[in-house]
Amino acid sequence: MKELVKRDLDKIWHPYTQMKDCEDMPPVPIVKAEGIKLYDNTGNFYYDTISSWWCNVHGHNHPYIKKAIKKQLDLFEHVLFAGFTHEPAIELAERLVKITPPGLDRVFFSDNGSTAVEVAMKMSVQYWRNNGKKDKTKIVALDKAYHGDTVGAMSVSAKGAYTEQFSSMLFDTMRVPTPYCYRCPAGKTKGECGTECLSMLESVLKQSSTEIAAVILEPVLMGAGGMIIYPAEYLKGAKSLTEKYDVHLIADEVATGFGRTGKMFACEHAGISPDIMCISKGITSGYLPLAATMVTQEIFDSFYGPVNEKKTFYHGHTYTANPVACAAANASIELFEKENTLKNVENIHSRLEEFLGTVSGLPFVGDTRSVGAVGAIELVKDKTTKEPFPVEERNGLKIYKQGLKHNILLRPLGDIIYFFLPLCVSNEELDDIFKKAQKSIIL
């Protein structure tokens, strides 16, 4: 194990990692994975309670997905997707149109969540340009949002640690308060709010709709923004407002899609169809990188015309619609029906809610929240005032370290401990996970 770590630290720069921390907390070498367990090279296992950064849906090393990948590899591994096509991509596009909210009838493939977001924003801006409204270029985003790490995606993400070093590169974004029920921007009490924060969104749209191309948000669950779970009524209201003021609604379902919230897509909680939807992560169950941006036929048609009209969408990626990745995605979607995956999410949610209830009384737990297979525990210094702990105390990191000692992966978002459980987890595994988590969540 020491030799592997030494080789790693000699050459590799890890994401979201202050490499100096690795002096005391080196990376854990994983040599095997099965189901929801990761195994290091000394035989220890760790429950993958965050689905390996929110992408693993059906468990590691699933034979059905592996079989689909191997079958495609025997045919061909990759081909350019400009002027060529292939069955795995066509089949996947047909499946996506069938399972996503009504009206999303066109599929543009890319490589990851950030690029899916970039594609969505570029499509929206060019749509308005193609329709003679060149002034509609602004994007409205929630002030605690996270939409990715490429320049455009950072521009519509919250100002903070993820973006402050690159502020000179980012474009201006119109920001509205996040519907963060625990820390309500309207000063209301959780459970007693009439989604007054929607009025703040309407104010911006009413004043500047002639400049605004789109509103972008993660439906119901905001992932890296702090596992903030907000009412479906806000999402439904946001859709109504974008229609009223003639701007697009972009739903970033990169983290929320493919069953995470108990619905195949989180937009279903509000019964709405966005104009544009971004998907990635769970699309292949984490087996290979892939993403897609779904749009309405109306948006697609606005790019259709003779080349001299300059309506072409000039955007693409080398690995667009990689056939092996598409084969994995098709197999993953098939498993939802074969294994009744969404039904299992109902059980996971019930058990998760029960566990969160047991830790909610701890003196340093200010809020617990959950939706589907996702749950969060917000640590605070003072439960009455909701005062957070000083950042330098790094309490979330302390719990992460304790979790590893108890064979459980609890990678925090600052002082928010969360579960982003694989949708295949069994009751027996849940019992053990929550038992180990309770031993780990101490300060």
Catalytic residue annotation: 16, 146, 252, 281
Q: 154 by DSSP, 3-state: which?
A: helix
In whole angstroms, give the CA distance from residue 249 to residue 19: 38
Query: 92 near 326, Cβ under 8 Å?
Result: yes
Beta carbons within 8 Å of 47's beta carbon, 6+ residues apart:
36, 37, 407, 408, 409, 429, 432, 433, 436
Beta carbons within 8 Å of 49's beta carbon, 6+ residues apart:
36, 408, 409, 410, 419, 420, 421, 433, 437
| Beta bridge pairs of residue 377 | 368, 417
Amino acid identity for residue 186 in this structure: A
In whole angstroms, give the CA distance from residue 213 to residue 209: 8
- Pairing between β-strand 212-217 and β-strand 138-142 as defined by DSSP bridges: parallel
In whole angstroms, give the CA distance from residue 412 to residue 396: 5
Q: How many CB atoms lie within 10 A of CB 339?
A: 16
Q: What is the helix (H) or strand (E) element at residue 155, kind and residue range?
A: helix 151-155
In whole angstroms, give the CA distance from residue 248 to residue 310: 22
Q: Say which DSSP state 391 is in.
A: G
Query: 239 near 272, Cβ under 8 Å?
Result: yes
Structure tokens belonging to residue 359: 């830790």
Structure tokens belonging to residue 184: 């309500």
Which backbone phi and psi does 117 adopt, to 5 degrees? Answer: -70, -45
Which residue intervals of 245-376 are DSSP H helices?
297-301, 323-338, 341-359
Helix and strand tally (H, E) in the chain?
Answer: 13, 15
